[in-house]
A and B are shown apart, each in its own frame.
Chain A
Amino acid sequence: MNVPSEHLLYLAAGLFAIGVLGFLIRRNVIVVLMCIELMLNAANLTFLAASRQHSTAQAANLDGPVFAIFVILVAACEAAVGLALIIALFRLKQSVEADSLSEMKG
């Protein structure tokens, strides 16, 4: 594939912006979590684009992929905890609306 690496970055920026959009405007907390996953994917794409750019034919730069693996791991953890929180929230309020979380102050 002979695409310049910045085009990968354009795609990443677009996906990230979409993730932020959903994160900010959606009221369903599950969808908000999904948008976070989308943003994490955009970040992964950035890592890979950088890694691809800094690899040569002789030596591949592996920092990007390794970081991407760690990001995937963190994403999995985050999704698991986030969904557990949603279950707990639903038990408490019978709702998954972000607006129902309005008591997080001291």
Chain B
Amino acid sequence: MAEILFYVLSALALLTGFGVVLAKSPMMSILSLLGSFFCLAVIYLLAGFQFLAAAQILVYAGAILVLFLFVIMLLNLGDMGVVAERSNSFLDSTAARLGAALAVGLGVIGLVAASKAAFQPAQAEPGKALDGLEAIALQLFGRYSLAFEAASILLLATMVAVIALAKRQRKSGQNPTQNGGRA
């Protein structure tokens, strides 16, 4: 039963992945990506990674994709992206064809590599999480504590960078008195 579910979800994930690439509107891309992430979350669950499945839903679907959505709405791109893509359709430029060829090549290499790995079927243990929360926490605060702390610095730096980038710069043509001298 679980096996069948895995293959079905895999097919769905790949399909929705194609949806991301092929959708004309960015909005449709985001929805496809959401579907792909959900499929992956369930696959994580099936493979025994319960915490990762939860994190996938919460962080990716819940936070990151919403961020994308916000930006699209903020920039009001709903139609603009569609118009832009339509003006010359996907695979008509040389660069796009080259890119497609590269992607296919990479995919083939990946598939061959995966088959070369020649894994034995894993020792399945139904219902038992491979990533127990306590064990993960012990790893994070023990062996990986340095990386964990570095990650906090990365987040802080990202926050500062995003604020700096997204802050509205005063245009040079604007009358300074209107802004009361605010930068």
Q: Which residues of A come within 8 Å of B, CB atoms?
A: 1-28, 30-31, 33-35, 37-38, 41, 44-45, 48-49, 51-53, 55-57, 60-63, 65-66, 68-70, 72-77, 79-81, 83-88, 90-91, 95-97
Query: What are the residues of chain B within 8 A of A44 when measuring CB–CB?
Result: 52
Q: A60-B131, A80-B158 are in contact. Are A18 and B114 (CB under 8 A)?
A: no
Are A41 and B59 in contact, with the CB atoms below 8 A?
no
CA distance A69 to B47 in the complex (A): 16
CB under 8 Å from chain A, chain B span 130-155? 130-132, 135-136, 139-140, 144, 147, 151, 154-155
- What chain A residues lie within 8 Å of B118 (beta carbons)? 6
**Are B51 and A96 interface neighbours, CB within 8 A?**
no
B110 adjacent to A16 (CB under 8 Å): yes
CB distance from A56 to the nearest CB of B (A): 6
* Interface contact B21-A27, CB-CB below 8 Å: no
Question: In chain B, residues 145-173, which have Cβ atoms closer than 8 Å to a Cβ of chain A?
Answer: 147, 151, 154-155, 158-159, 161-162, 165-166, 168-169
Knowing A48-B49, A69-B140, A83-B71, say if A37 contacts B33 (CB, 8 Å): yes
Q: Determine the chain B residues whose CB is within 8 A of the CB of A69 once the complex forms.
A: 52, 55, 136, 140
List, sorted by A's number, 29 A–B pairs whose CB atoms are closer than 8 Å: A1-B47, A2-B3, A3-B7, A9-B117, A11-B43, A12-B114, A16-B107, A17-B106, A18-B14, A18-B107, A24-B100, A25-B21, A28-B81, A31-B23, A31-B26, A34-B20, A34-B33, A35-B20, A41-B36, A41-B40, A45-B40, A51-B49, A60-B130, A60-B131, A62-B139, A72-B55, A81-B162, A88-B166, A95-B80
**A residues less than 8 Å from B125 (CB atoms):** 57
Are the C-beta atoms of A38 and B75 separated by less than 8 Å? Answer: no
B102 touches A24 (CB 8 A): yes
Q: A3-B6, A18-B103, A57-B125 are in contact. Are A73 and B155 (CB under 8 A)?
A: yes
